[in-house]
Amino acid sequence: MSNALKNDRYLRALAHQPVDRTPIWMMRQAGRYLPEYREIRKEAGDFMTLCRNPELACEVTLQPLRRFPLDAAILFSDILTIPDAMGLGLYFEAGEGPRFEFPLRSFSDIQKLPVPDPEDELRYVMDAVRTIRRELKGEVPLIGFSGSPWTLATYMVEGGSTKNFALIKEMAFAEPEALHLLLHKLAQSVTSYLNAQIAAGAQSVMIFDTWGGVLSPRDYREFSLSYMRQIVEGLTREADGRHVPVTLFTKNGGQWLEAMAATGCDALGIDWTTDLGDARTRVGQKVALQGNMDPSVLYASPERIRQEVQIILDSYGSGSGHVFNLGHGIHPGVNPEHAGAFIKAVQELSAGYHNN
């Protein structure tokens, strides 16, 4: 696989190397806000059929790159592929989000869980990565990803989405040994899954810890961060003659940036509840930062979007080490033209922060 990249701005920024402007991609950039995505999704019949078809997953991954001059592609998949491969029976209820037929309720349930082989039960994801890398033709790097062990565990124990996290927290405090066994198996699974993505062609990987922010500081370190550190330590960090950077993102995790930066990761995703300039002061040159515009700003006028981009660029300041992104995924109801205005604003306004 060739490592020649026509645009390596994103990888350079993650390494604090000079760039001509701040690179940009968007969380969930391939998704329901795009009419072309909705057509493919309808053709596939359901979400997981779309994920499991490497050609369709590739097509969806490339759609936003045809529309917008983005600096990275991100694999189209779902964070719940690993629990699904463990046999929990993933399905999607209209208006309800993901559900599992067989949620984990006991120590014995967890003991029986297999650690999936990424080139067997999850081969469709690796085939998608290989297909996307081929079709990208070196235009931009490809980002692979996984959910964090804690975040995956919340869905597996709760049986789906939750507002109060009662069942997973009951397990954490009443049966911690059961939860630690689950998190250990998930850390093993995520490590092998991401390494397989890297072997298949992912040039950077990201760990999404969507629900780490519901924990207390002590519990975050015990049940979330310690397992993400294990994964970071077990990842392949060079492929194709290049360093493979890893980004950690804990939603509502701004208070723990220093601890996250100490895991050995290359970058931290920052949501909109943390000031980017403050985050930069706190972590220094230790890691790059990705973020962090509130996705809801994309409902505003292009002029207002441009103002927000300027504010965030000013907050980070000059120099490399910043990948512009939303603080979480783009909302399905956003007008694609507003996403285009956002990307254009970053490209036009950010060059002045890089003295090359």
Q: What is the pLDDT of residues 139-195, one digit of tens each?
A: 999 999 999 999 999 999 999 999 999 999 999 999 999 999 999 999 999 999 999
Residue 293 has pLDDT above 60, yes or no: yes
Residue range of the domain that includes 129: 9-292+322-329
Task: Please indicate, yes or no, if residue 263 is contained in any of the structural domains.
Answer: yes
Task: Please indicate, yes or no, if residue 269 is contained in any of the structural domains.
Answer: yes
Which residue matches tokens 């930066």?
Answer: 261
Q: Give the domain CATH number at 177.
A: 3.20.20.210
Q: Mean pLDDT check: name the lowest of 86-95, 110-119, 308-317.
A: 86-95
For 82, the token pair is 């690993």
Spell out the residues 6+ positions from residue 210 whose beta carbon is closer than 8 angstroms to its own: 79, 147, 148, 151, 251
The reported pTM is 0.97
Q: How many domains does the chain have?
A: 1
pLDDT band at 3 (very low <50, low <70, confident <90, very high): low
Spell out the residues 6+ positions from residue 170 whose beta carbon is closer than 8 angstroms to its own: none
Predicted pLDDT of residue 93: 77
* 250 known member of a binding site: no
pLDDT band at 227 (very low <50, low <70, confident <90, very high): very high
* Contact indicator for 64, 330 with CB cutoff of 8 Å: no
* 155 known member of a binding site: yes
* 314 known member of a binding site: no
- Give strand ranges (E) for the chain: 73-74, 90-93, 97-100, 142-147, 204-209, 238-239, 242-243, 246-250, 267-269, 288-293, 322-326
Residue 339 has pLDDT above 60, yes or no: yes
pLDDT band at 2 (very low <50, low <70, confident <90, very high): low
Q: Which residue numbers are catalytic? A: 28, 32, 41, 78, 155
Task: Please indicate, yes or no, if residue 305 is contained in any of the structural domains.
Answer: no
Task: Please indicate, yes or no, if residue 17 is contained in any of the structural domains.
Answer: yes
Alpha carbon distance 352, 211 (integer Å): 36
* 28 known member of a binding site: yes
Rounded to the nearest integer, the mean pLDDT of the chain is: 96
Task: Please indicate, yes or no, if residue 52 is contained in any of the structural domains.
Answer: yes
Would strands 267-269 and 246-250 be described as parallel, antiparallel, or unpaired? parallel
For 169, the token pair is 């927290």
Task: Please indicate, yes or no, if residue 314 is contained in any of the structural domains.
Answer: no
Sign of CA dihedral 329, 332, 334, 339: positive
Strand, coil or helix: what is 160? strand
Give yes or no for a cis peptide into 164 (omega within 30° of 0).
no
* Contact indicator for 153, 179 with CB cutoff of 8 Å: yes
Maximum distance among all alpha carbons in the chain? 59
DSSP alpha helix (H) spans, 120-175: 123-136, 149-158, 166-174
Alpha carbon distance 247, 289 (integer Å): 9
Alpha carbon distance 252, 317 (integer Å): 23
* 197 known member of a binding site: no
Predicted pLDDT of residue 116: 97
Mean local confidence (pLDDT), 100-110: 96
Alpha carbon distance 159, 171 (integer Å): 13
Task: Please indicate, yes or no, if residue 226 is contained in any of the structural domains.
Answer: yes
Task: Please indicate, yes or no, if residue 97 is contained in any of the structural domains.
Answer: yes
